[in-house]
């Protein structure tokens, strides 16, 4: 499955098939998929509106019964065997399309980020590989993920770019423009991780290596290091912008959960810690 390859880009291990996937509570009934009853943000679900999908205008072409059966089998595998860090939406009227969200794993430069991919299965699948588009926001995170959204799966487990600057910019892009059917996931994800993300920014400004997410982690050598000074200046600028976006997301989250006392208690506990 192509998603296994995409997961390797982020150093995510395949889930133990004996373990159940994790679901999170949605924020309000305006969000979530059409079929989940708004009780859970399911890891896998089937939705209808594919209008903002990158491959929406690509015709599925002439398909066979075997092809349909193959896609249906893929859906079954996704329903029962997704790692906890990945969420998928398939489309009822366009079974050749799906969208995936991957949570960046801890201990890597991708930590706490949300990364979105649009996938299209050609009529020749599985003889021909799927097409994959990354929601890049114009940023290139590593050699496999281009600014244009092109995905190259030939090189794995590599990091490339200006460290935390792109880490922060990617978060801002997801916060400002969450893909359809993932709005509640984005809002809750960044609300729950706001403190961790901001603490990581402070740690990186203090010299921690990007990905360590700890002020006690390995430090960048700073003696006579002009590049660190430039990095710190750039990071301070973008971390302030990220801080504002996270605050706006918190306000949005509070508004969506204002009618839920349990959620409000959870928010107070989270933001005061």
Catalytically active residues are 152
Classify burial at 256, counting beta carbons within 10 Å of its beta carbon; exposed 0-12, middle 13-18, buried 19 or more.
Answer: buried
Classify burial at 213, counting beta carbons within 10 Å of its beta carbon; exposed 0-12, middle 13-18, buried 19 or more.
Answer: buried
Any idea of the CA torsion for 72, 76, 78, 80, to the nearest 10 degrees? 180
Any idea of the CA torsion for 128, 134, 139, 142, to the nearest 10 degrees? -60
Strand, helix or coil for residue 219: strand
**Alpha-carbon distances of 206 from 222, 232, 245, rounded to whole Å:** 10, 8, 22
CA 115 to CA 135: how far, in whole Å?
Answer: 7
């Amino acid at each position: 499955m192509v998603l296994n390859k995409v997961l390797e880009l982020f150093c995510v291990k395949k889930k133990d098939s004996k373990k159940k996937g994790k679901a999170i509570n949605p924020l309000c009934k305006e969000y979530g998929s059409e079929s989940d009853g708004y009780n859970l943000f399911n890891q896998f679900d089937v939705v209808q509106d594919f209008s903002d999908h990158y491959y929406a205008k690509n015709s599925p072409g002439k398909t066979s019964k075997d092809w349909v059966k193959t896609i249906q089998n893929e859906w079954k595998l996704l329903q029962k065997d997704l790692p906890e860090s990945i969420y998928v939406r398939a489309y009822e009227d366009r079974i050749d399309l799906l969208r995936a969200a991957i949570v960046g794993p801890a201990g890597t430069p991708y930590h706490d980020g949300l990364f979105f991919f649009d996938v299209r299965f050609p009529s020749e699948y599985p003889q021909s590989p799927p097409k994959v588009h990354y929601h890049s926001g114009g940023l290139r995170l590593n050699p496999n993920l281009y600014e244009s959204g092109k995905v190259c799966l030939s090189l794995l487990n590599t990091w490339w770019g200006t460290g935390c600057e792109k880490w922060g910019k990617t978060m801002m892009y997801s916060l400002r423009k969450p893909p359809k059917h993932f709005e509640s996931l984005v809002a809750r994800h960044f609300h729950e991780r706001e403190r961790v993300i901001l603490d990581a920014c402070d740690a990186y400004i203090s010299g921690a290596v990007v990905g360590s997410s700890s002020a006690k982690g390995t430090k960048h050598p700073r003696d006579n290091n002009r590049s660190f000074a430039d990095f710190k200046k750039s990071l301070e600028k973008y971390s302030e912008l990220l801080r504002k976006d996270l605050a706006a997301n918190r306000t949005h989250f509070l508004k969506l959960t204002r009618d839920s006392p349990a959620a409000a208690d959870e928010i107070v506990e989270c933001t005061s810690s």
